[in-house]
Chains A and B, each alone.
Chain A
């Protein structure tokens, strides 16, 4: 964990509270297992600690349980064994933590009957915020993703990349501390994906949030992350935790640098090991 601390401390000094006391982790997973009905073991003994302000990617072959893990962190579904703690969060009377998160699904998952504005307004509306009071925040979230001109459009009028931006704006409008992203750009073309990668990094640097990003792309994970958690399938488990120790902001120069190449090679090797491991264990 020492290498990890060095990265977080080095990159995000602004998030450290005055006084220099080490903050507790944002979310802490201990021995988490998930078995589905029928006995399929999706996750086995996952230990994972996410610090405040980190950009972490979960990387692995399909079926390795990375999406399942993300959903468990979001509180969608219950763990079969182990625990997920939120050391910084308050808990309500029923023992439910106040997770304070945004979730971006693989599909844009927009309501087709609602305008872009109303789609982004939804989380605030569900929280009981009146439309008048929410207007500024919704417009601000739309401006963050560059869609302020499309507030009154309907989702079907937008391109795939724009729909994904709306989805991101909806996750951001509640100003979450943790942003969970489940292969959000997998269905987009490469040019759009690169642009959204850059936009995402810019937003992450300007806001004070934590990102857990699920992907099956080595290149995407290296480009974005401070840390890559490599997972293996059958059963889903963590087999490597790689720090990507390269400075931010990252741009096109990073994408074409030898450092980037070196990290990609390293990560690919771990991923190959993950694939080999899961085939052997099958």
Chain B
């Protein structure tokens, strides 16, 4: 190791420099070791399954309870995706509105902040009373949307304003219309910001959907969150873990889908997604 060059020691490697198979194999190996240790300790210390079930038992519950868990997964997925899409459309629409008129921005942005900083759990009962009595899924959708909305709005607003000054002048020079400026200049400039916001909102819409289901509770919900509460009430801890595993898988899938979308859209031009050889 004495041969290591100064340059190699003085900086940290970035993930991109590590071969792909290492980046896949190492985390999986750590996961397997962790699960093995878990299995061993549960067996060795004779921990009861209603406190901490062994991974093998959770796997069995996952397979056995799949007929009840899958429809719940589907319900949660529907609320999550719908909330994400609504948040995306509304967030981008309001960001565009803000970028076109400073009057809109100064009059509406404070309310967007209020919506963001008020804990969703505390608003949930109110929304449930207003719209949730007949249509529980609408209440869930509204609550998850509120949580997912803000990162899209604030990031896109920032992006639409972060246009290169000289490019703005160039568009002035050629008498670009408002629409042309928005379409050809502001939207592409905002794209990296929007995609960053989408990555945050994707996760948040799942969190919002789950929190909303928790608050709605008591038999109305049929999503994964309700399965977790139900299993907890019955001390069916293996099934609780199985539902948790499905939620994690859903969250991971959303995150990686949005990361893939980001790379796909930015790989040709943006620093964050461009592959470099040095």
Chain A residues packing against B (C-beta within 8 Å)? 71, 74-76, 101, 103, 105, 107, 109, 111-114, 122-123, 125-127, 154-156, 174
Contacts and interface: CB of A to CB of B under 8 A. Distances in A.
Nearest to A102: B173
Identify whether the interface residues of A are mostly helix, strand, loop, or mixed. Answer: loop
Contacts of B184: 111, 122, 125-126
Q: Which of B175, B176, B191, B269 counts the most A-chain CB atoms under 10 A from its CB? A: B269
Contacts of A113: 188, 191, 268-270
Interface string B164-198: 10110111111110001000110010010000000
A126 B174 contact: yes
Contacts, number: 49
B269 A103 contact: no
B108 interface: no
10 shortest interchain CB distances as A-B pairs = A109-B166, A126-B174, A113-B188, A112-B269, A113-B269, A105-B166, A126-B176, A123-B174, A154-B269, A76-B169
Contacts of B173: 74-76, 101, 103
Interface residues of B, number: 20
Given A75-B172, A156-B274, 10 more contacts: A71-B169, A76-B173, A103-B173, A105-B170, A111-B185, A112-B269, A113-B191, A126-B175, A126-B176, A156-B269
A126 B180 contact: yes
A250 B271 CA distance: 41
A112 B270 contact: yes
A75 B170 CA distance: 11
A175 to B, nearest CB: 13
Contacts of B166: 105, 107, 109
Contact of B174 (A71, A107, A127): A127
B269 A126 contact: no
16 contacts: A76-B173, A101-B173, A103-B173, A105-B170, A107-B166, A109-B170, A111-B167, A112-B270, A113-B188, A113-B268, A113-B269, A113-B270, A122-B184, A125-B184, A127-B174, A174-B174
A61 B67 CA distance: 79
Contacts of A125: 184
A77 B185 CA distance: 20
Nearest to B164: A109
A76 B166 CA distance: 11
B90 to A, nearest CB: 25
A109 B268 CA distance: 17
Contacts of A123: 174
